[in-house]
Protein backbone atom coordinates (compact mmCIF):
# COMPACT_ATOMS: atom_id res chain seq x y z
CA UNK A 1 0.00 0.00 0.00
CA UNK A 2 1.30 3.47 -0.91
CA UNK A 3 2.01 5.79 2.03
CA UNK A 4 2.25 9.58 2.04
CA UNK A 5 5.17 9.44 4.50
CA UNK A 6 7.20 7.48 1.91
CA UNK A 7 6.29 9.72 -1.04
CA UNK A 8 9.02 12.03 -2.32
CA UNK A 9 7.03 15.25 -2.33
CA UNK A 10 9.09 18.25 -1.19
CA UNK A 11 6.47 20.87 -0.28
CA UNK A 12 7.46 24.52 -0.45
CA UNK A 13 5.83 27.84 0.29
CA UNK A 14 6.31 30.49 -2.39
CA UNK A 15 6.08 34.06 -1.07
CA UNK A 16 4.05 36.36 -3.27
CA UNK A 17 6.22 37.81 -6.06
CA UNK A 18 9.16 35.55 -5.24
CA UNK A 19 11.47 33.90 -7.77
CA UNK A 20 12.74 30.34 -7.57
CA UNK A 21 15.92 29.53 -9.48
CA UNK A 22 15.30 32.24 -12.08
CA UNK A 23 11.77 30.98 -12.69
CA UNK A 24 9.02 33.59 -12.40
CA UNK A 25 5.78 32.28 -10.90
CA UNK A 26 3.37 33.54 -13.54
CA UNK A 27 0.36 31.19 -13.46
CA UNK A 28 -1.57 29.05 -11.00
CA UNK A 29 -0.58 25.66 -12.46
CA UNK A 30 3.09 26.51 -12.03
CA UNK A 31 2.54 27.76 -8.48
CA UNK A 32 0.44 24.75 -7.45
CA UNK A 33 2.82 22.20 -8.96
CA UNK A 34 5.80 23.78 -7.22
CA UNK A 35 4.14 24.32 -3.85
CA UNK A 36 2.67 20.82 -3.71
CA UNK A 37 5.92 19.07 -4.56
CA UNK A 38 5.17 17.78 -8.05
CA UNK A 39 7.68 19.89 -9.94
CA UNK A 40 11.12 21.39 -9.36
CA UNK A 41 12.89 23.93 -11.61
CA UNK A 42 16.49 23.18 -12.57
CA UNK A 43 17.27 26.13 -14.88
CA UNK A 44 15.27 28.50 -17.04
CA UNK A 45 12.72 26.44 -18.98
CA UNK A 46 13.79 23.06 -17.57
CA UNK A 47 12.06 21.11 -14.81
CA UNK A 48 12.35 17.88 -12.86
CA UNK A 49 9.07 15.99 -12.70
CA UNK A 50 8.75 14.47 -9.24
CA UNK A 51 6.94 11.16 -8.50
CA UNK A 52 3.35 12.45 -8.29
CA UNK A 53 3.68 14.44 -11.54
CA UNK A 54 5.24 11.38 -13.16
CA UNK A 55 2.18 9.34 -12.13
CA UNK A 56 -0.07 11.92 -13.81
CA UNK A 57 2.05 11.77 -16.95
CA UNK A 58 1.93 7.96 -16.95
CA UNK A 59 -1.86 8.06 -16.83
CA UNK A 60 -2.01 10.60 -19.65
CA UNK A 61 0.33 8.50 -21.76
CA UNK A 62 -1.78 5.38 -21.10
CA UNK A 63 -4.91 7.14 -22.42
CA UNK A 64 -2.99 8.25 -25.51
CA UNK A 65 -1.50 4.78 -26.08
CA UNK A 66 -5.02 3.32 -26.03
CA UNK A 67 -6.20 5.68 -28.75
CA UNK A 68 -3.09 5.19 -30.87
CA UNK A 69 -3.77 1.43 -30.72
CA UNK A 70 -7.38 2.15 -31.70
CA UNK A 71 -6.37 3.91 -34.93
CA UNK A 72 -3.77 1.24 -35.69
CA UNK A 73 -0.61 3.28 -35.12
CA UNK A 74 2.62 1.42 -34.28
CA UNK A 75 4.97 2.78 -31.63
CA UNK A 76 8.57 3.67 -32.48
CA UNK A 77 11.38 5.69 -30.89
CA UNK A 78 13.40 8.19 -32.89
CA UNK A 79 16.67 9.79 -31.70
CA UNK A 80 16.28 13.17 -30.01
CA UNK A 81 19.32 14.37 -31.93
CA UNK A 82 18.60 14.94 -35.62
CA UNK A 83 21.15 15.82 -38.28
CA UNK A 84 21.04 19.51 -39.21
CA UNK A 85 21.46 18.47 -42.86
CA UNK A 86 17.94 17.01 -42.89
CA UNK A 87 16.46 20.29 -41.72
CA UNK A 88 18.57 22.16 -44.24
CA UNK A 89 17.24 19.92 -47.01
CA UNK A 90 13.61 20.47 -45.96
CA UNK A 91 14.16 24.23 -45.74
CA UNK A 92 13.25 24.54 -42.08
CA UNK A 93 16.74 25.03 -40.62
CA UNK A 94 16.74 28.75 -41.40
CA UNK A 95 12.96 29.21 -41.26
CA UNK A 96 12.75 28.16 -37.59
CA UNK A 97 16.37 29.06 -36.80
CA UNK A 98 16.55 30.70 -33.34
CA UNK A 99 14.11 28.21 -31.75
CA UNK A 100 16.38 25.25 -32.53
CA UNK A 101 18.89 24.04 -29.93
CA UNK A 102 21.96 23.08 -31.96
CA UNK A 103 24.96 20.94 -31.01
CA UNK A 104 28.14 19.74 -32.71
CA UNK A 105 30.01 16.49 -32.06
CA UNK A 106 33.79 16.01 -31.84
CA UNK A 107 33.97 15.37 -35.58
CA UNK A 108 32.33 18.66 -36.44
CA UNK A 109 29.00 17.09 -37.46
CA UNK A 110 26.06 19.34 -36.65
CA UNK A 111 22.86 18.19 -34.98
CA UNK A 112 19.83 19.71 -33.34
CA UNK A 113 17.64 18.64 -30.46
CA UNK A 114 14.47 18.00 -32.40
CA UNK A 115 11.29 19.94 -31.59
CA UNK A 116 9.47 17.60 -34.00
CA UNK A 117 10.41 14.72 -36.32
CA UNK A 118 8.96 15.17 -39.82
CA UNK A 119 12.45 15.15 -41.34
CA UNK A 120 13.51 12.11 -39.33
CA UNK A 121 10.43 10.12 -40.37
CA UNK A 122 11.01 11.06 -44.01
CA UNK A 123 14.66 9.98 -43.79
CA UNK A 124 13.59 6.68 -42.22
CA UNK A 125 11.13 5.96 -45.05
CA UNK A 126 13.71 6.96 -47.66
CA UNK A 127 16.27 4.66 -46.05
CA UNK A 128 14.04 1.56 -45.95
CA UNK A 129 12.03 2.38 -49.07
CA UNK A 130 10.60 2.80 -51.43
CA UNK A 131 7.70 1.07 -49.66
CA UNK A 132 5.00 -0.72 -51.61
CA UNK A 133 1.56 0.81 -52.06
CA UNK A 134 0.28 -2.39 -50.37
CA UNK A 135 1.92 -1.29 -47.09
CA UNK A 136 -0.04 1.97 -47.01
CA UNK A 137 -1.39 3.67 -45.03
CA UNK A 138 1.47 3.35 -42.56
CA UNK A 139 0.84 4.87 -39.11
CA UNK A 140 3.59 5.31 -36.53
CA UNK A 141 3.92 7.33 -33.31
CA UNK A 142 6.21 8.07 -30.41
CA UNK A 143 6.04 9.80 -27.05
CA UNK A 144 9.32 11.52 -26.23
CA UNK A 145 10.91 14.72 -25.02
CA UNK A 146 11.19 17.59 -27.48
CA UNK A 147 13.21 20.79 -27.30
CA UNK A 148 12.64 24.41 -28.22
CA UNK A 149 14.89 27.35 -27.38
CA UNK A 150 12.13 29.64 -26.14
CA UNK A 151 13.19 33.27 -26.10
CA UNK A 152 11.52 33.71 -22.71
CA UNK A 153 10.30 30.49 -21.09
CA UNK A 154 7.36 31.18 -18.77
CA UNK A 155 4.26 29.68 -17.19
CA UNK A 156 6.16 26.58 -16.06
CA UNK A 157 5.25 23.57 -18.19
CA UNK A 158 3.07 25.68 -20.48
CA UNK A 159 6.10 27.23 -22.20
CA UNK A 160 9.29 25.33 -21.41
CA UNK A 161 12.43 24.43 -23.32
CA UNK A 162 12.01 20.69 -22.81
CA UNK A 163 8.59 19.06 -23.02
CA UNK A 164 6.99 15.66 -23.50
CA UNK A 165 4.98 15.25 -26.69
CA UNK A 166 3.06 12.73 -28.69
CA UNK A 167 4.01 12.96 -32.34
CA UNK A 168 2.31 10.59 -34.75
CA UNK A 169 2.77 10.32 -38.52
CA UNK A 170 0.70 8.73 -41.25
CA UNK A 171 2.01 7.95 -44.75
CA UNK A 172 -0.32 7.64 -47.75
CA UNK A 173 -0.64 7.31 -51.50
CA UNK A 174 -2.54 10.56 -51.95
CA UNK A 175 -4.47 13.36 -50.27
CA UNK A 176 -7.81 11.52 -50.27
CA UNK A 177 -6.50 8.53 -48.31
CA UNK A 178 -4.62 10.92 -45.98
CA UNK A 179 -7.91 12.73 -45.30
CA UNK A 180 -9.58 9.47 -44.23
CA UNK A 181 -6.84 8.74 -41.70
CA UNK A 182 -6.89 12.38 -40.59
CA UNK A 183 -10.56 11.98 -39.67
CA UNK A 184 -9.76 8.81 -37.70
CA UNK A 185 -7.10 10.66 -35.71
CA UNK A 186 -9.58 13.47 -35.14
CA UNK A 187 -11.96 10.96 -33.57
CA UNK A 188 -9.11 9.58 -31.45
CA UNK A 189 -8.26 13.08 -30.21
CA UNK A 190 -11.90 13.67 -29.29
CA UNK A 191 -11.92 10.43 -27.29
CA UNK A 192 -8.77 11.52 -25.44
CA UNK A 193 -10.20 14.89 -24.43
CA UNK A 194 -13.63 13.39 -23.66
CA UNK A 195 -11.91 10.93 -21.32
CA UNK A 196 -10.33 13.89 -19.55
CA UNK A 197 -13.64 15.80 -19.58
CA UNK A 198 -11.87 18.99 -20.68
CA UNK A 199 -13.32 21.86 -22.77
CA UNK A 200 -11.07 21.40 -25.82
CA UNK A 201 -12.09 22.84 -29.20
CA UNK A 202 -10.79 21.91 -32.65
CA UNK A 203 -10.26 25.02 -34.81
CA UNK A 204 -8.83 25.60 -38.27
CA UNK A 205 -5.37 27.16 -38.14
CA UNK A 206 -2.60 28.38 -40.48
CA UNK A 207 -0.08 25.73 -41.54
CA UNK A 208 2.85 28.07 -40.78
CA UNK A 209 6.42 26.74 -40.97
CA UNK A 210 5.14 23.15 -40.94
CA UNK A 211 3.57 23.61 -44.36
CA UNK A 212 0.86 21.44 -45.89
CA UNK A 213 -2.74 21.94 -46.90
CA UNK A 214 -4.81 21.39 -43.73
CA UNK A 215 -4.12 22.37 -40.13
CA UNK A 216 -6.19 22.24 -36.94
CA UNK A 217 -5.30 23.37 -33.44
CA UNK A 218 -6.85 21.81 -30.35
CA UNK A 219 -7.47 24.64 -27.90
CA UNK A 220 -8.31 24.23 -24.19
CA UNK A 221 -10.13 27.22 -22.72
CA UNK A 222 -8.27 28.71 -19.74
CA UNK A 223 -7.77 32.21 -18.40
CA UNK A 224 -3.96 31.91 -18.51
CA UNK A 225 -3.95 31.02 -22.20
CA UNK A 226 -1.86 33.11 -24.58
CA UNK A 227 -4.16 32.18 -27.48
CA UNK A 228 -7.83 33.00 -27.88
CA UNK A 229 -10.78 31.43 -29.65
CA UNK A 230 -14.21 32.78 -30.42
CA UNK A 231 -17.38 30.78 -29.85
CA UNK A 232 -20.63 31.39 -31.68
CA UNK A 233 -23.76 30.58 -29.67
CA UNK A 234 -25.93 30.84 -32.80
CA UNK A 235 -24.28 28.20 -35.02
CA UNK A 236 -21.83 26.59 -32.51
CA UNK A 237 -18.88 27.35 -34.80
CA UNK A 238 -15.49 27.82 -33.12
CA UNK A 239 -12.48 29.56 -34.64
CA UNK A 240 -9.27 31.30 -33.70
CA UNK A 241 -9.77 34.88 -32.58
CA UNK A 242 -8.77 37.30 -35.32
CA UNK A 243 -9.82 40.72 -34.07
CA UNK A 244 -13.25 40.43 -35.67
CA UNK A 245 -16.04 39.62 -33.23
CA UNK A 246 -18.34 38.23 -35.93
CA UNK A 247 -18.56 34.53 -36.76
CA UNK A 248 -17.19 33.68 -40.20
CA UNK A 249 -19.94 31.10 -40.74
CA UNK A 250 -23.13 32.93 -39.80
CA UNK A 251 -22.11 36.55 -39.21
CA UNK A 252 -23.46 36.64 -35.65
CA UNK A 253 -21.56 38.01 -32.64
CA UNK A 254 -19.18 35.63 -30.89
CA UNK A 255 -17.71 35.28 -27.42
CA UNK A 256 -13.92 35.44 -27.16
CA UNK A 257 -12.18 33.18 -24.61
CA UNK A 258 -8.50 32.77 -23.76
CA UNK A 259 -7.15 29.32 -24.58
CA UNK A 260 -4.08 27.09 -24.56
CA UNK A 261 -3.04 25.04 -27.58
CA UNK A 262 -2.67 21.43 -26.39
CA UNK A 263 -2.61 19.67 -29.77
CA UNK A 264 -2.03 20.31 -33.46
CA UNK A 265 -2.69 18.19 -36.54
CA UNK A 266 -1.63 18.69 -40.17
CA UNK A 267 -1.98 17.16 -43.59
CA UNK A 268 1.51 17.93 -44.88
CA UNK A 269 1.27 16.67 -48.43
CA UNK A 270 4.66 15.89 -49.99
CA UNK A 271 6.67 18.82 -48.57
CA UNK A 272 9.05 16.57 -46.60
CA UNK A 273 8.84 13.32 -48.54
CA UNK A 274 9.66 14.99 -51.84
CA UNK A 275 12.72 16.88 -50.59
CA UNK A 276 14.04 13.87 -48.63
CA UNK A 277 13.08 11.27 -51.27
CA UNK A 278 10.65 9.24 -49.19
CA UNK A 279 8.75 7.40 -51.93
CA UNK A 280 6.37 4.51 -52.43
CA UNK A 281 5.94 2.26 -55.46
CA UNK A 282 2.61 2.41 -57.25
CA UNK A 283 0.93 -0.73 -58.62
CA UNK A 284 2.44 -0.17 -62.05
CA UNK A 285 5.96 0.35 -60.65
CA UNK A 286 6.32 4.13 -60.62
CA UNK A 287 7.94 5.75 -57.58
CA UNK A 288 5.92 8.63 -56.10
CA UNK A 289 6.55 10.82 -53.01
CA UNK A 290 4.52 9.76 -49.98
CA UNK A 291 1.71 12.02 -48.79
CA UNK A 292 2.22 12.72 -45.09
CA UNK A 293 0.11 13.84 -42.15
CA UNK A 294 1.24 14.48 -38.58
CA UNK A 295 -0.47 14.69 -35.22
CA UNK A 296 0.90 16.20 -32.00
CA UNK A 297 -0.22 16.54 -28.38
CA UNK A 298 1.90 18.43 -25.85
CA UNK A 299 1.62 16.04 -22.91
CA UNK A 300 3.39 18.04 -20.20
CA UNK A 301 1.60 21.14 -21.46
CA UNK A 302 -1.72 19.29 -21.26
CA UNK A 303 -0.94 18.33 -17.65
CA UNK A 304 -0.45 21.99 -16.71
CA UNK A 305 -3.27 23.26 -18.92
CA UNK A 306 -5.78 20.91 -17.27
CA UNK A 307 -4.86 22.47 -13.91
CA UNK A 308 -5.29 25.95 -15.38
CA UNK A 309 -8.77 25.01 -16.59
CA UNK A 310 -10.03 23.23 -13.48
CA UNK A 311 -8.13 24.44 -10.40
CA UNK A 312 -8.68 27.32 -8.03
CA UNK A 313 -5.84 29.60 -7.02
CA UNK A 314 -5.25 27.53 -3.89
CA UNK A 315 -6.24 23.94 -4.74
CA UNK A 316 -5.49 21.60 -7.61
CA UNK A 317 -8.36 19.97 -9.46
CA UNK A 318 -7.54 17.20 -11.91
CA UNK A 319 -9.44 15.37 -14.59
CA UNK A 320 -10.39 12.31 -12.53
CA UNK A 321 -8.74 9.98 -15.03
CA UNK A 322 -5.26 11.42 -14.37
CA UNK A 323 -5.19 12.50 -10.71
CA UNK A 324 -1.95 11.29 -9.05
CA UNK A 325 -4.05 8.93 -6.92
CA UNK A 326 -7.80 8.47 -7.23
CA UNK A 327 -8.31 8.14 -3.47
CA UNK A 328 -6.58 9.05 -0.22
CA UNK A 329 -7.45 7.50 3.15
CA UNK A 330 -6.87 9.58 6.28
CA UNK A 331 -6.79 7.80 9.63
CA UNK A 332 -7.41 9.19 13.12
CA UNK A 333 -4.80 11.19 14.99
CA UNK A 334 -2.50 8.95 16.98
CA UNK A 335 -3.44 8.80 20.65
CA UNK A 336 -7.03 9.94 20.10
CA UNK A 337 -10.15 8.07 21.18
CA UNK A 338 -10.80 7.23 17.53
CA UNK A 339 -7.26 5.86 17.18
CA UNK A 340 -7.81 3.47 20.06
CA UNK A 341 -10.87 2.06 18.26
CA UNK A 342 -9.68 2.36 14.65
CA UNK A 343 -5.89 2.07 14.54
CA UNK A 344 -3.48 1.93 11.57
CA UNK A 345 -4.22 -1.73 10.85
CA UNK A 346 -7.89 -0.91 10.38
CA UNK A 347 -7.01 2.12 8.23
CA UNK A 348 -4.93 -0.16 6.01
CA UNK A 349 -7.83 -2.64 5.84
CA UNK A 350 -10.13 0.13 4.55
CA UNK A 351 -7.53 1.13 1.95
CA UNK A 352 -7.07 -2.45 0.75
CA UNK A 353 -10.82 -2.99 0.41
CA UNK A 354 -11.17 0.20 -1.67
CA UNK A 355 -8.18 -0.79 -3.80
CA UNK A 356 -9.62 -4.25 -4.45
CA UNK A 357 -12.91 -2.69 -5.57
CA UNK A 358 -11.34 -1.27 -8.73
CA UNK A 359 -8.67 1.22 -7.65
CA UNK A 360 -5.66 -1.10 -7.83
CA UNK A 361 -2.42 0.80 -7.10
CA UNK A 362 -4.44 4.02 -7.08
CA UNK A 363 -5.08 4.49 -3.35
CA UNK A 364 -2.67 6.28 -1.01
CA UNK A 365 -2.78 6.35 2.80
CA UNK A 366 -1.92 9.51 4.73
CA UNK A 367 -0.09 7.81 7.56
CA UNK A 368 1.19 11.02 9.19
CA UNK A 369 -0.83 10.25 12.30
CA UNK A 370 0.91 12.90 14.41
CA UNK A 371 -0.97 15.53 12.37
CA UNK A 372 -4.62 16.35 13.00
CA UNK A 373 -7.27 15.04 10.63
CA UNK A 374 -8.13 18.63 9.71
CA UNK A 375 -4.54 19.43 8.69
CA UNK A 376 -4.30 16.31 6.53
CA UNK A 377 -7.73 16.96 4.98
CA UNK A 378 -6.64 20.46 4.01
CA UNK A 379 -3.49 19.07 2.34
CA UNK A 380 -5.46 16.34 0.54
CA UNK A 381 -7.98 18.88 -0.75
CA UNK A 382 -5.14 21.10 -1.96
CA UNK A 383 -3.69 18.13 -3.86
CA UNK A 384 -7.07 17.49 -5.49
CA UNK A 385 -7.44 13.75 -4.88
CA UNK A 386 -10.90 12.92 -6.32
CA UNK A 387 -11.94 10.82 -3.29
CA UNK A 388 -10.94 11.74 0.26
CA UNK A 389 -11.92 9.11 2.84
CA UNK A 390 -11.66 10.12 6.49
CA UNK A 391 -11.68 7.67 9.40
CA UNK A 392 -12.98 10.14 11.96
CA UNK A 393 -15.44 10.31 14.84
CA UNK A 394 -18.02 8.18 13.03
CA UNK A 395 -15.71 5.17 13.14
CA UNK A 396 -16.75 4.86 16.81
CA UNK A 397 -20.25 3.91 15.69
CA UNK A 398 -21.36 0.33 15.14
CA UNK A 399 -20.91 -0.36 12.31
CA UNK A 400 -18.13 2.16 11.66
CA UNK A 401 -18.97 4.89 9.18
CA UNK A 402 -16.53 6.84 7.04
CA UNK A 403 -16.57 10.37 5.67
CA UNK A 404 -16.41 10.55 1.86
CA UNK A 405 -15.48 13.85 0.21
CA UNK A 406 -15.53 14.09 -3.58
CA UNK A 407 -13.47 17.14 -4.52
CA UNK A 408 -15.06 17.57 -7.95
CA UNK A 409 -18.53 17.91 -6.36
CA UNK A 410 -17.57 20.80 -4.03
CA UNK A 411 -19.57 19.28 -1.18
CA UNK A 412 -20.38 21.36 1.88
CA UNK A 413 -20.80 18.19 3.95
CA UNK A 414 -19.34 14.69 3.49
CA UNK A 415 -21.31 11.52 2.97
CA UNK A 416 -21.28 9.25 6.04
CA UNK A 417 -21.08 5.66 4.82
CA UNK A 418 -20.36 2.17 6.05
CA UNK A 419 -17.45 0.44 4.35
CA UNK A 420 -19.70 -1.45 1.94
CA UNK A 421 -21.66 1.74 1.16
CA UNK A 422 -18.38 3.60 0.67
CA UNK A 423 -17.14 1.06 -1.86
CA UNK A 424 -20.50 1.15 -3.70
CA UNK A 425 -20.47 4.97 -3.82
CA UNK A 426 -16.97 5.09 -5.31
CA UNK A 427 -17.72 2.28 -7.77
CA UNK A 428 -20.96 3.97 -8.91
CA UNK A 429 -19.24 7.34 -9.28
CA UNK A 430 -16.49 5.87 -11.42
CA UNK A 431 -19.10 4.01 -13.49
CA UNK A 432 -20.90 7.27 -14.25
CA UNK A 433 -17.59 8.80 -15.29
CA UNK A 434 -16.93 5.95 -17.75
CA UNK A 435 -20.46 6.10 -19.18
CA UNK A 436 -20.05 9.83 -19.90
CA UNK A 437 -17.07 9.20 -22.19
CA UNK A 438 -17.92 8.88 -25.88
CA UNK A 439 -17.20 5.49 -27.40
pLDDT digits (tens, 9 = 90+) for 248-276: 999 999 999 999 999 999 999 999 999 99
Looking at the structure, tell me whether residues 303 and 163 fall in a common domain: yes
Nearest to 404 by CA among 137, 117, 392: 392
In the predicted model, is pLDDT for residue 434 greater than 60?
A: no
Q: Any idea what the CATH number is for the domain that residue 205 is in? A: 3.30.930.10
The verdict on residue 33 lying in a domain is no
Looking at the structure, do residues 345 and 305 belong to the same domain, yes or no? no
271 and 395 housed in the same domain: no
423 shares a domain with 293: no
| Least confidently predicted of 109-118, 165-174, 339-348, 405-414 | 405-414
pTM (2 decimals)? 0.93
Alpha-carbon torsion (170, 174, 177, 178), positive or negative: positive
- Do residues 392 and 350 share a domain? yes
Same domain for 331 and 190? no
Number of domains in the chain: 2
Asked whether residue 346 falls in the same domain as residue 265, the answer is no
Name the domain boundary from 310, 338, 367: 310
Q: What is the mean pLDDT of residues 324-349?
A: 96
Q: Measured on CA atoms in the order 129, 134, 135, 137, is the torsion positive or negative?
A: positive
Assess if residue 88 is contained within a domain: yes
Q: Which one of 310, 340, 367 terminates a domain?
A: 310
User: With pLDDT > 90 as the criterion, what percentage of the chain qualifies?
Assistant: 88
For 142-199, write each residue's pLDDT tens digit. Answer: 999 999 999 888 899 999 999 999 999 999 999 999 999 999 999 999 999 999 999 9
Position 129 scores a pLDDT of 85
In a domain, 18, yes or no: no
In a domain, 131, yes or no: yes
Residue 322 has pLDDT above 80, yes or no: yes
Tell me: do 163 and 302 sit in the same domain. yes
Domain range spanning residue 192?
Answer: 49-225+261-310
Q: Do 340 and 422 sit in the same domain of this protein? A: yes
| pLDDT tens-digit map of 86-123 | 999 999 999 888 899 999 999 999 999 999 999 999 99
Domain co-membership, 267 together with 339: no
Which pLDDT band holds residue 19 (cuts at 50, 70, 90)? low
Residue 425 has pLDDT above 80, yes or no: yes
Amino acid sequence: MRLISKTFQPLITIPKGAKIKNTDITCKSQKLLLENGLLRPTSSGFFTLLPLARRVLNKLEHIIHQQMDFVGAQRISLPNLTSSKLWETSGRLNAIGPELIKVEDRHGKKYLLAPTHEEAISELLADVGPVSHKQLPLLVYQISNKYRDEHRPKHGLLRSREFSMLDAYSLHQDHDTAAITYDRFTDAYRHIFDKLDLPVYRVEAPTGDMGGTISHEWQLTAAAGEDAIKLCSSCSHTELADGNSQCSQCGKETKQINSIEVGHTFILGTKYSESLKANFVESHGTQVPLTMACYGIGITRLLAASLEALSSETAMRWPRAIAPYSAIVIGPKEGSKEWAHHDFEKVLEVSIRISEAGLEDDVVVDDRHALTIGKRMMMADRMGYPYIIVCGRSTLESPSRYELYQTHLQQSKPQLLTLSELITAITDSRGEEKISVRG
